[in-house]
Amino acid sequence: MKNSLAKLQHRYVCQACGTVTTRWGGRCDACGEWNSIVEEIPREAAPGGLGKAGGNSGRRRAGRVEFVGLEGSTAREPRSPSGLAEFDRVCGGGLVPGSTVLIGGEPGVGKSTLLMQVAAALGDPGRAPGPPIAYISGEEAVEQLRLRAHRLGLGAARVELATATSVRDIVASLDTAEPPPAVVADSVQTLYVDTLESAPGTVSQVRASAQELIRLAKRRGFALLLVGHVTKDGQLAGPKVLEHMVDTVLTFEGERGHPFRILRASKNRYGPTDEIGVFEMGDDGLREVANPSALFLAERRGDVAGAAVFAGIEGTRPVLVEIQALASPSPLATPRRAVVGWDSARLAMVLAVLEARCGLVFTGKEVYLNVAGGLRIGEPAADLAVAAALISAVSGEPVPAGTVVFGEVGLSGEVRAVGRSEARLKEAAKLGFERAISPPRRGGASDRRDRGRKKAGNGDREAAAHPGLKIQEIAHLNDLIEILAPQAAGRMARRAARAAEAEFS
Protein backbone atom coordinates (compact mmCIF):
# COMPACT_ATOMS: atom_id res chain seq x y z
CA MET A 1 0.00 0.00 0.00
CA LYS A 2 1.38 3.29 -1.01
CA ASN A 3 1.81 6.02 1.55
CA SER A 4 -1.02 8.56 1.17
CA LEU A 5 1.10 11.40 2.52
CA ALA A 6 3.33 12.99 -0.12
CA LYS A 7 6.96 13.29 0.77
CA LEU A 8 7.89 16.78 1.86
CA GLN A 9 10.33 18.20 -0.67
CA HIS A 10 12.93 20.77 0.13
CA ARG A 11 13.34 23.78 -2.12
CA TYR A 12 15.95 26.49 -2.43
CA VAL A 13 14.98 30.08 -3.16
CA CYS A 14 17.27 32.91 -4.31
CA GLN A 15 16.82 35.86 -1.96
CA ALA A 16 17.81 38.33 -4.69
CA CYS A 17 15.46 37.40 -7.54
CA GLY A 18 13.12 34.74 -6.11
CA THR A 19 14.15 31.88 -8.41
CA VAL A 20 13.22 28.45 -6.98
CA THR A 21 15.53 25.46 -7.51
CA THR A 22 15.60 21.90 -6.25
CA ARG A 23 19.21 21.95 -5.07
CA TRP A 24 21.53 24.40 -3.39
CA GLY A 25 24.20 26.28 -5.31
CA GLY A 26 26.72 28.95 -4.49
CA ARG A 27 25.59 31.16 -7.38
CA CYS A 28 22.11 31.81 -8.74
CA ASP A 29 21.88 30.92 -12.42
CA ALA A 30 19.09 33.46 -13.03
CA CYS A 31 20.54 36.68 -11.58
CA GLY A 32 24.20 35.70 -11.01
CA GLU A 33 24.16 36.65 -7.29
CA TRP A 34 26.56 34.74 -5.03
CA ASN A 35 25.55 33.17 -1.69
CA SER A 36 21.91 34.22 -2.08
CA ILE A 37 20.25 30.78 -2.24
CA VAL A 38 18.55 29.76 1.02
CA GLU A 39 16.69 26.57 1.81
CA GLU A 40 12.97 26.96 2.51
CA ILE A 41 10.78 24.10 3.67
CA PRO A 42 7.33 24.40 2.08
CA ARG A 43 4.17 23.52 3.93
CA GLU A 44 2.07 20.52 2.96
CA ALA A 45 -0.60 22.92 1.68
CA ALA A 46 -0.31 26.38 0.25
CA PRO A 47 -0.76 29.00 3.00
CA GLY A 48 -4.06 30.82 2.87
CA GLY A 49 -2.73 34.23 3.83
CA LEU A 50 -3.53 35.04 7.44
CA GLY A 51 -6.36 32.51 7.64
CA LYS A 52 -6.26 29.50 9.90
CA ALA A 53 -3.31 27.28 9.18
CA GLY A 54 -4.18 23.71 8.46
CA GLY A 55 -6.33 23.10 5.42
CA ASN A 56 -8.80 24.66 3.12
CA SER A 57 -12.31 25.51 4.30
CA GLY A 58 -13.83 24.40 1.00
CA ARG A 59 -13.93 25.50 -2.57
CA ARG A 60 -15.60 28.81 -3.38
CA ARG A 61 -18.19 28.69 -6.10
CA ALA A 62 -17.10 30.33 -9.30
CA GLY A 63 -18.68 33.67 -10.07
CA ARG A 64 -18.91 35.90 -13.09
CA VAL A 65 -16.60 38.86 -13.73
CA GLU A 66 -18.39 42.10 -14.57
CA PHE A 67 -16.99 44.07 -17.50
CA VAL A 68 -17.59 47.75 -18.22
CA GLY A 69 -16.83 49.91 -21.24
CA LEU A 70 -14.24 52.64 -21.61
CA GLU A 71 -16.91 55.31 -21.80
CA GLY A 72 -18.18 56.65 -18.53
CA SER A 73 -17.32 59.08 -15.75
CA THR A 74 -14.58 58.28 -13.29
CA ALA A 75 -13.91 60.54 -10.35
CA ARG A 76 -10.37 61.80 -10.07
CA GLU A 77 -8.46 60.16 -7.29
CA PRO A 78 -8.32 62.30 -4.14
CA ARG A 79 -4.94 63.25 -2.76
CA SER A 80 -3.70 64.10 0.70
CA PRO A 81 -0.74 66.52 0.50
CA SER A 82 1.75 65.79 3.24
CA GLY A 83 2.97 69.36 3.60
CA LEU A 84 6.49 68.51 2.36
CA ALA A 85 6.53 70.06 -1.10
CA GLU A 86 9.46 68.01 -2.39
CA PHE A 87 7.92 64.72 -1.24
CA ASP A 88 4.53 65.65 -2.72
CA ARG A 89 6.20 66.63 -6.00
CA VAL A 90 7.74 63.18 -6.42
CA CYS A 91 4.50 61.41 -5.44
CA GLY A 92 2.54 63.41 -8.00
CA GLY A 93 0.87 65.93 -5.68
CA GLY A 94 0.31 63.93 -2.51
CA LEU A 95 -0.65 60.50 -1.21
CA VAL A 96 -3.65 58.73 -2.71
CA PRO A 97 -5.84 56.85 -0.20
CA GLY A 98 -5.44 53.12 -0.62
CA SER A 99 -2.11 53.42 -2.43
CA THR A 100 1.19 51.85 -1.43
CA VAL A 101 4.54 53.63 -1.63
CA LEU A 102 7.80 51.68 -1.40
CA ILE A 103 10.88 53.69 -0.39
CA GLY A 104 14.36 52.19 -0.68
CA GLY A 105 17.85 53.50 -0.09
CA GLU A 106 21.29 52.80 1.30
CA PRO A 107 21.67 52.27 5.06
CA GLY A 108 22.02 55.59 6.88
CA VAL A 109 20.85 57.76 3.97
CA GLY A 110 17.88 59.04 6.00
CA LYS A 111 14.86 56.90 5.06
CA SER A 112 13.53 56.70 8.61
CA THR A 113 14.11 60.42 9.11
CA LEU A 114 12.21 61.24 5.93
CA LEU A 115 9.26 59.05 6.84
CA MET A 116 9.15 60.42 10.38
CA GLN A 117 8.91 63.93 8.96
CA VAL A 118 6.26 62.85 6.45
CA ALA A 119 4.25 61.15 9.19
CA ALA A 120 4.54 64.23 11.42
CA ALA A 121 3.46 66.50 8.54
CA LEU A 122 0.42 64.30 7.87
CA GLY A 123 -0.36 64.28 11.59
CA ASP A 124 0.04 68.02 12.05
CA PRO A 125 -2.38 69.23 14.77
CA GLY A 126 -3.41 72.08 12.47
CA ARG A 127 -4.91 69.73 9.87
CA ALA A 128 -8.46 68.44 9.86
CA PRO A 129 -9.29 66.27 12.88
CA GLY A 130 -9.09 62.54 12.42
CA PRO A 131 -7.27 59.43 13.59
CA PRO A 132 -3.51 59.84 14.18
CA ILE A 133 -0.87 58.50 11.82
CA ALA A 134 0.47 55.01 12.62
CA TYR A 135 4.23 54.47 12.59
CA ILE A 136 5.20 50.80 12.96
CA SER A 137 8.84 49.86 13.28
CA GLY A 138 10.35 46.42 13.27
CA GLU A 139 13.92 47.64 13.69
CA GLU A 140 13.77 50.27 16.45
CA ALA A 141 12.20 50.49 19.88
CA VAL A 142 9.55 53.04 20.72
CA GLU A 143 12.02 55.05 22.80
CA GLN A 144 14.36 55.33 19.85
CA LEU A 145 11.54 56.62 17.68
CA ARG A 146 10.58 59.17 20.32
CA LEU A 147 14.16 60.39 20.61
CA ARG A 148 14.32 60.92 16.84
CA ALA A 149 10.99 62.75 16.83
CA HIS A 150 12.07 65.09 19.64
CA ARG A 151 15.42 65.70 17.95
CA LEU A 152 13.56 66.73 14.81
CA GLY A 153 11.19 68.93 16.79
CA LEU A 154 8.16 66.78 15.97
CA GLY A 155 7.06 65.80 19.47
CA ALA A 156 3.65 67.50 19.16
CA ALA A 157 2.56 65.69 15.98
CA ARG A 158 -0.39 63.29 16.08
CA VAL A 159 1.61 60.14 15.41
CA GLU A 160 1.22 56.87 17.29
CA LEU A 161 4.24 54.60 17.54
CA ALA A 162 4.41 50.83 17.75
CA THR A 163 7.04 48.12 17.55
CA ALA A 164 5.79 44.97 15.84
CA THR A 165 6.91 42.41 13.30
CA SER A 166 3.93 40.04 13.14
CA VAL A 167 1.71 40.84 10.19
CA ARG A 168 -1.23 39.15 11.90
CA ASP A 169 -0.98 41.52 14.87
CA ILE A 170 -0.53 44.56 12.62
CA VAL A 171 -3.55 43.68 10.47
CA ALA A 172 -5.73 43.04 13.54
CA SER A 173 -4.78 46.46 14.96
CA LEU A 174 -5.40 48.38 11.73
CA ASP A 175 -8.53 46.56 10.51
CA THR A 176 -10.98 48.91 12.23
CA ALA A 177 -13.88 51.08 11.13
CA GLU A 178 -11.76 54.23 11.48
CA PRO A 179 -8.22 53.32 10.41
CA PRO A 180 -5.40 55.88 10.37
CA PRO A 181 -5.14 57.91 7.15
CA ALA A 182 -1.53 56.74 6.64
CA VAL A 183 0.56 53.85 7.96
CA VAL A 184 4.37 53.64 7.92
CA ALA A 185 5.99 50.17 8.11
CA ASP A 186 9.75 50.23 8.66
CA SER A 187 10.77 47.90 7.18
CA VAL A 188 9.07 45.19 5.09
CA GLN A 189 12.11 42.91 5.49
CA THR A 190 11.48 42.63 9.25
CA LEU A 191 7.84 41.53 8.94
CA TYR A 192 6.68 37.91 8.89
CA VAL A 193 3.53 35.90 8.33
CA ASP A 194 3.15 33.07 10.84
CA THR A 195 1.69 30.68 8.25
CA LEU A 196 5.10 30.50 6.59
CA GLU A 197 8.03 28.70 8.17
CA SER A 198 10.74 30.73 6.45
CA ALA A 199 12.64 33.46 8.28
CA PRO A 200 11.75 37.17 8.02
CA GLY A 201 13.38 38.86 5.05
CA THR A 202 13.18 35.86 2.76
CA VAL A 203 11.46 36.08 -0.58
CA SER A 204 8.34 34.26 0.59
CA GLN A 205 7.96 36.36 3.74
CA VAL A 206 8.50 39.68 1.98
CA ARG A 207 5.98 38.80 -0.72
CA ALA A 208 3.34 37.51 1.71
CA SER A 209 3.77 40.35 4.21
CA ALA A 210 3.53 43.03 1.55
CA GLN A 211 0.52 41.36 -0.03
CA GLU A 212 -1.44 41.27 3.24
CA LEU A 213 -0.68 44.91 4.08
CA ILE A 214 -1.48 46.11 0.57
CA ARG A 215 -4.78 44.21 0.61
CA LEU A 216 -5.73 45.81 3.93
CA ALA A 217 -4.72 49.29 2.75
CA LYS A 218 -6.94 49.04 -0.33
CA ARG A 219 -9.87 47.67 1.66
CA ARG A 220 -9.68 50.28 4.44
CA GLY A 221 -8.51 53.18 2.25
CA PHE A 222 -5.34 54.31 4.03
CA ALA A 223 -2.02 55.16 2.42
CA LEU A 224 0.71 52.62 3.14
CA LEU A 225 4.39 53.64 3.22
CA LEU A 226 6.80 50.70 3.15
CA VAL A 227 10.54 50.93 3.74
CA GLY A 228 12.66 48.49 1.74
CA HIS A 229 16.27 47.50 2.13
CA VAL A 230 18.66 47.48 -0.82
CA THR A 231 21.35 45.07 -1.91
CA LYS A 232 25.02 45.91 -2.33
CA ASP A 233 24.25 46.77 -5.97
CA GLY A 234 21.68 49.37 -4.92
CA GLN A 235 18.65 47.31 -6.02
CA LEU A 236 15.65 46.78 -3.76
CA ALA A 237 16.08 43.56 -1.81
CA GLY A 238 13.49 40.85 -2.08
CA PRO A 239 11.45 39.57 -5.00
CA LYS A 240 10.99 41.70 -8.08
CA VAL A 241 7.26 41.16 -7.78
CA LEU A 242 7.31 43.49 -4.77
CA GLU A 243 7.92 46.45 -7.07
CA HIS A 244 5.03 45.32 -9.26
CA MET A 245 2.66 45.00 -6.32
CA VAL A 246 3.09 48.57 -5.01
CA ASP A 247 1.80 51.71 -6.69
CA THR A 248 4.89 53.90 -6.30
CA VAL A 249 8.58 53.05 -5.98
CA LEU A 250 10.83 55.80 -4.62
CA THR A 251 14.60 55.70 -4.23
CA PHE A 252 16.33 57.89 -1.66
CA GLU A 253 19.86 58.62 -2.90
CA GLY A 254 22.79 60.48 -1.42
CA GLU A 255 26.57 60.41 -1.56
CA ARG A 256 28.42 60.04 1.72
CA GLY A 257 30.11 63.31 2.55
CA HIS A 258 27.46 65.36 0.74
CA PRO A 259 24.53 66.85 2.64
CA PHE A 260 22.25 66.60 -0.41
CA ARG A 261 19.65 63.85 -0.71
CA ILE A 262 17.71 63.05 -3.88
CA LEU A 263 14.28 61.42 -3.76
CA ARG A 264 13.64 59.86 -7.17
CA ALA A 265 10.57 58.03 -8.51
CA SER A 266 11.14 54.98 -10.70
CA LYS A 267 7.46 53.93 -10.77
CA ASN A 268 4.32 55.94 -10.08
CA ARG A 269 0.80 54.97 -11.07
CA TYR A 270 -0.55 58.34 -10.01
CA GLY A 271 2.07 60.72 -11.37
CA PRO A 272 5.19 61.17 -13.50
CA THR A 273 8.16 58.84 -13.04
CA ASP A 274 10.93 61.34 -13.79
CA GLU A 275 10.41 63.76 -10.89
CA ILE A 276 13.00 64.32 -8.19
CA GLY A 277 12.86 65.93 -4.78
CA VAL A 278 15.96 67.58 -3.32
CA PHE A 279 16.66 67.68 0.42
CA GLU A 280 19.56 68.82 2.54
CA MET A 281 20.48 66.83 5.64
CA GLY A 282 21.13 68.95 8.72
CA ASP A 283 21.20 68.62 12.49
CA ASP A 284 17.44 69.17 12.64
CA GLY A 285 16.61 66.64 9.92
CA LEU A 286 15.93 66.99 6.23
CA ARG A 287 15.32 70.47 4.85
CA GLU A 288 13.59 71.00 1.54
CA VAL A 289 15.55 72.67 -1.24
CA ALA A 290 13.20 74.81 -3.31
CA ASN A 291 15.94 75.96 -5.73
CA PRO A 292 18.37 73.06 -6.23
CA SER A 293 20.27 74.87 -9.00
CA ALA A 294 21.50 77.56 -6.61
CA LEU A 295 22.47 74.88 -4.10
CA PHE A 296 24.44 72.77 -6.57
CA LEU A 297 26.30 75.85 -7.87
CA ALA A 298 26.94 77.44 -4.46
CA GLU A 299 30.63 76.41 -4.30
CA ARG A 300 31.43 76.82 -7.98
CA ARG A 301 34.46 78.79 -9.17
CA GLY A 302 34.29 80.17 -12.69
CA ASP A 303 38.02 80.41 -13.45
CA VAL A 304 38.94 76.71 -13.27
CA ALA A 305 39.73 74.70 -16.38
CA GLY A 306 37.70 71.54 -16.85
CA ALA A 307 34.39 72.76 -15.39
CA ALA A 308 31.17 73.49 -17.27
CA VAL A 309 27.63 74.24 -16.11
CA PHE A 310 24.97 71.98 -17.57
CA ALA A 311 21.33 73.09 -17.85
CA GLY A 312 19.41 69.86 -17.34
CA ILE A 313 15.81 68.82 -16.79
CA GLU A 314 14.77 66.62 -13.88
CA GLY A 315 11.10 65.85 -14.07
CA THR A 316 9.20 69.06 -14.73
CA ARG A 317 11.78 71.55 -13.51
CA PRO A 318 15.19 72.60 -14.82
CA VAL A 319 18.28 72.00 -12.71
CA LEU A 320 21.69 73.58 -13.27
CA VAL A 321 24.65 71.51 -12.14
CA GLU A 322 28.41 71.70 -12.60
CA ILE A 323 30.24 68.99 -14.55
CA GLN A 324 33.95 68.65 -13.78
CA ALA A 325 36.57 66.92 -15.94
CA LEU A 326 40.24 66.22 -15.41
CA ALA A 327 42.77 64.87 -17.93
CA SER A 328 46.20 63.91 -16.61
CA PRO A 329 49.13 61.93 -18.07
CA SER A 330 49.01 58.23 -17.28
CA PRO A 331 51.95 55.85 -16.87
CA LEU A 332 49.67 52.89 -17.61
CA ALA A 333 49.31 51.23 -20.98
CA THR A 334 45.54 51.48 -20.65
CA PRO A 335 44.65 54.87 -19.17
CA ARG A 336 41.94 54.96 -16.56
CA ARG A 337 38.44 56.33 -17.18
CA ALA A 338 36.54 57.13 -13.97
CA VAL A 339 33.00 58.55 -13.90
CA VAL A 340 30.86 59.69 -10.96
CA GLY A 341 27.25 60.66 -11.59
CA TRP A 342 27.10 59.89 -15.34
CA ASP A 343 27.11 56.94 -17.71
CA SER A 344 30.60 55.57 -18.34
CA ALA A 345 29.59 54.25 -21.77
CA ARG A 346 28.39 57.72 -22.72
CA LEU A 347 31.75 59.18 -21.68
CA ALA A 348 33.58 56.66 -23.88
CA MET A 349 31.41 57.70 -26.83
CA VAL A 350 32.08 61.44 -26.32
CA LEU A 351 35.82 60.80 -26.03
CA ALA A 352 35.79 58.77 -29.24
CA VAL A 353 33.91 61.51 -31.11
CA LEU A 354 36.31 64.20 -29.88
CA GLU A 355 39.29 62.16 -31.05
CA ALA A 356 37.90 60.98 -34.40
CA ARG A 357 36.00 64.11 -35.49
CA CYS A 358 37.79 66.98 -33.77
CA GLY A 359 41.43 65.91 -33.55
CA LEU A 360 41.69 65.93 -29.76
CA VAL A 361 44.13 63.41 -28.32
CA PHE A 362 43.28 61.53 -25.12
CA THR A 363 45.69 58.66 -25.71
CA GLY A 364 47.99 58.26 -22.74
CA LYS A 365 45.79 60.43 -20.50
CA GLU A 366 43.59 59.44 -17.61
CA VAL A 367 40.14 61.03 -17.72
CA TYR A 368 38.05 61.69 -14.64
CA LEU A 369 34.50 63.02 -14.82
CA ASN A 370 32.40 64.13 -11.87
CA VAL A 371 28.92 65.62 -11.44
CA ALA A 372 29.24 68.00 -8.50
CA GLY A 373 26.76 67.78 -5.65
CA GLY A 374 26.05 64.04 -5.75
CA LEU A 375 23.40 64.30 -8.49
CA ARG A 376 23.18 61.56 -11.13
CA ILE A 377 22.41 62.66 -14.69
CA GLY A 378 20.86 60.32 -17.22
CA GLU A 379 19.66 62.47 -20.11
CA PRO A 380 21.71 62.71 -23.35
CA ALA A 381 21.45 66.52 -23.27
CA ALA A 382 24.53 66.49 -21.03
CA ASP A 383 26.78 65.37 -23.92
CA LEU A 384 27.70 68.90 -24.98
CA ALA A 385 28.45 70.01 -21.41
CA VAL A 386 30.69 66.97 -20.91
CA ALA A 387 32.47 67.75 -24.18
CA ALA A 388 32.95 71.36 -23.08
CA ALA A 389 34.46 70.22 -19.77
CA LEU A 390 36.80 67.79 -21.56
CA ILE A 391 37.90 70.42 -24.11
CA SER A 392 38.60 72.86 -21.29
CA ALA A 393 40.54 70.25 -19.34
CA VAL A 394 42.74 69.33 -22.33
CA SER A 395 43.38 72.88 -23.55
CA GLY A 396 43.75 74.42 -20.10
CA GLU A 397 41.34 77.24 -21.04
CA PRO A 398 38.47 77.75 -18.58
CA VAL A 399 34.93 77.89 -19.89
CA PRO A 400 33.91 81.57 -19.94
CA ALA A 401 32.28 82.63 -16.70
CA GLY A 402 28.50 82.85 -16.74
CA THR A 403 28.08 80.22 -19.49
CA VAL A 404 25.71 77.27 -19.53
CA VAL A 405 25.91 74.41 -22.05
CA PHE A 406 23.44 71.74 -23.14
CA GLY A 407 22.89 69.58 -26.22
CA GLU A 408 23.15 66.03 -27.53
CA VAL A 409 26.19 64.90 -29.52
CA GLY A 410 25.98 62.46 -32.43
CA LEU A 411 28.64 60.06 -33.64
CA SER A 412 29.60 62.35 -36.51
CA GLY A 413 30.19 65.24 -34.12
CA GLU A 414 26.93 67.05 -34.88
CA VAL A 415 25.06 68.76 -32.06
CA ARG A 416 21.41 67.77 -31.92
CA ALA A 417 18.45 69.59 -30.42
CA VAL A 418 16.99 68.53 -27.08
CA GLY A 419 13.61 69.01 -25.49
CA ARG A 420 12.46 71.88 -23.29
CA SER A 421 15.19 74.29 -24.34
CA GLU A 422 13.11 77.30 -23.29
CA ALA A 423 12.84 76.06 -19.71
CA ARG A 424 16.60 75.49 -19.54
CA LEU A 425 17.35 78.98 -20.87
CA LYS A 426 14.82 80.57 -18.53
CA GLU A 427 16.43 78.93 -15.49
CA ALA A 428 19.89 80.07 -16.63
CA ALA A 429 18.69 83.65 -17.08
CA LYS A 430 17.02 83.60 -13.67
CA LEU A 431 20.28 82.60 -11.98
CA GLY A 432 22.22 85.41 -13.68
CA PHE A 433 24.03 83.54 -16.45
CA GLU A 434 25.01 85.69 -19.42
CA ARG A 435 25.69 83.16 -22.17
CA ALA A 436 24.24 79.86 -23.35
CA ILE A 437 25.78 77.44 -25.84
CA SER A 438 22.97 75.33 -27.26
CA PRO A 439 22.13 73.25 -30.35
CA PRO A 440 20.18 74.70 -33.29
CA ARG A 441 16.48 74.93 -32.77
CA ARG A 442 14.25 72.36 -34.42
CA GLY A 443 12.97 73.34 -37.88
CA GLY A 444 13.03 72.59 -41.57
CA ALA A 445 15.36 73.77 -44.31
CA SER A 446 13.42 77.03 -44.78
CA ASP A 447 13.79 77.78 -41.08
CA ARG A 448 17.54 77.21 -41.28
CA ARG A 449 17.82 79.54 -44.32
CA ASP A 450 15.84 82.19 -42.46
CA ARG A 451 18.15 81.90 -39.49
CA GLY A 452 21.15 82.28 -41.76
CA ARG A 453 19.74 85.45 -43.39
CA LYS A 454 18.38 86.94 -40.15
CA LYS A 455 20.82 85.75 -37.58
CA ALA A 456 20.93 89.06 -35.77
CA GLY A 457 17.17 89.37 -35.66
CA ASN A 458 16.76 85.88 -34.17
CA GLY A 459 19.33 86.71 -31.53
CA ASP A 460 17.38 89.81 -30.58
CA ARG A 461 14.22 87.79 -30.13
CA GLU A 462 15.99 85.27 -27.95
CA ALA A 463 17.42 88.09 -25.85
CA ALA A 464 13.95 89.58 -25.48
CA ALA A 465 12.59 86.21 -24.31
CA HIS A 466 15.49 85.76 -21.88
CA PRO A 467 16.79 89.20 -20.81
CA GLY A 468 20.52 89.38 -20.20
CA LEU A 469 21.22 85.97 -21.79
CA LYS A 470 23.15 85.70 -25.07
CA ILE A 471 22.38 82.48 -26.92
CA GLN A 472 24.94 80.99 -29.28
CA GLU A 473 23.78 78.04 -31.37
CA ILE A 474 26.34 75.58 -32.69
CA ALA A 475 25.95 72.67 -35.10
CA HIS A 476 29.22 70.75 -34.60
CA LEU A 477 31.78 70.09 -31.89
CA ASN A 478 34.39 71.96 -33.92
CA ASP A 479 32.34 75.11 -33.32
CA LEU A 480 32.54 74.44 -29.60
CA ILE A 481 36.32 74.13 -29.79
CA GLU A 482 36.57 77.43 -31.63
CA ILE A 483 34.51 79.10 -28.89
CA LEU A 484 36.25 77.60 -25.86
CA ALA A 485 39.81 77.22 -27.12
CA PRO A 486 40.39 79.36 -30.23
CA GLN A 487 44.19 79.15 -29.85
CA ALA A 488 44.10 75.38 -29.70
CA ALA A 489 41.60 75.02 -32.56
CA GLY A 490 44.26 75.76 -35.19
CA ARG A 491 46.70 73.26 -33.70
CA MET A 492 44.00 70.60 -33.57
CA ALA A 493 43.01 71.25 -37.18
CA ARG A 494 46.61 70.97 -38.37
CA ARG A 495 47.10 67.79 -36.36
CA ALA A 496 43.97 66.29 -37.89
CA ALA A 497 45.11 67.26 -41.40
CA ARG A 498 48.51 65.63 -40.88
CA ALA A 499 46.84 62.50 -39.57
CA ALA A 500 44.55 62.35 -42.62
CA GLU A 501 47.50 62.79 -45.00
CA ALA A 502 49.45 60.06 -43.25
CA GLU A 503 46.45 57.72 -43.50
CA PHE A 504 46.08 58.15 -47.29
CA SER A 505 49.79 58.19 -48.08
Tell me: the pLDDT tens digits for 471-502? 999 999 999 999 988 766 555 556 656 655 66
Query: If we measure between CA atoms, which residue out of 480, 326, 483, 295 comes closest to residue 406?
Result: 480
> In CATH terms, is domain 85-290 a member of 3.40.50.300?
yes
The per-residue pLDDT for 232 is 79
Beta bridge partners of 368: 326, 338
The per-residue pLDDT for 286 is 93
Report the residue count for the chain: 505
Query: Are 485 and 348 a contacting pair, CB within 8 Å?
Result: no
Q: How far is CA 5 from CA 9, 14, 197, 391, in A?
A: 12, 28, 19, 74
pLDDT in single tens digits along all 505 residues of the chain:
444 444 556 788 887 777 888 888 888 888 888 888 887 765 544 445 676 544 444 566 777 888 888 887 767 668 889 989 999 999 999 999 999 999 999 998 999 999 999 999 999 888 878 899 999 999 999 999 999 999 999 989 999 999 999 999 999 999 999 999 999 999 999 999 999 888 898 888 999 999 999 999 999 999 999 999 988 777 888 788 899 999 999 999 887 777 889 999 999 998 888 788 999 998 889 999 888 888 788 778 777 899 999 999 988 889 999 999 999 999 888 899 999 999 999 999 999 999 999 888 898 899 999 998 888 898 999 999 999 999 999 998 999 989 999 999 999 999 999 999 999 999 999 889 999 999 997 654 334 434 443 343 334 344 456 778 999 999 999 999 999 887 665 555 566 566 556 666 5
CA distance 277 to 342: 19
Ramachandran class of 98: left when φ > 0, alpha when ψ lies in -120 to 50, beta otherwise: left
With the C-alpha atoms ordered 90, 91, 94, 95, is the resulting torsion angle positive or negative? negative
Query: If we measure between CA atoms, which residue out of 276, 272, 274, 302 comes closest to residue 289?
Result: 276
Report DSSP letters for 412-467, one per residue. Answer: TSBEE--S-HHHHHHHHHHTT--EEEEPPPS--HHHHHHHHHTHHHHHHHHHHHST
Q: If you classify domain 295-500 with CATH, what class do you get?
A: alpha beta
Instruction: Spell out the long-range contacts of 311-314 with Cβ–Cβ below 8 A and sequence spacing 24 or more.
Output: 311/385, 311/404, 311/405, 311/406, 311/424, 311/425, 311/427, 311/428, 311/436, 312/377, 312/379, 312/381, 312/382, 312/406, 312/424, 313/379, 313/381, 313/419, 313/420, 313/423, 313/424, 314/274, 314/275, 314/276
Q: How many CB atoms lie within 10 A of CB 256?
A: 8
CA dihedral 56, 59, 64, 67 (to 10 degrees): 20
CA distance 158 to 137: 17
CA distance 39 to 144: 34
DSSP 236: B
The per-residue pLDDT for 407 is 97
Residue type, 175: D
Query: Where in the chain are the domains?
Result: 9-44, 85-290, 295-500
The per-residue pLDDT for 491 is 59
Tell me: the pLDDT tens digits for 334-375? 899 999 999 999 999 999 999 999 888 898 899 999 998 888
The per-residue pLDDT for 5 is 41
Residue type, 5: L
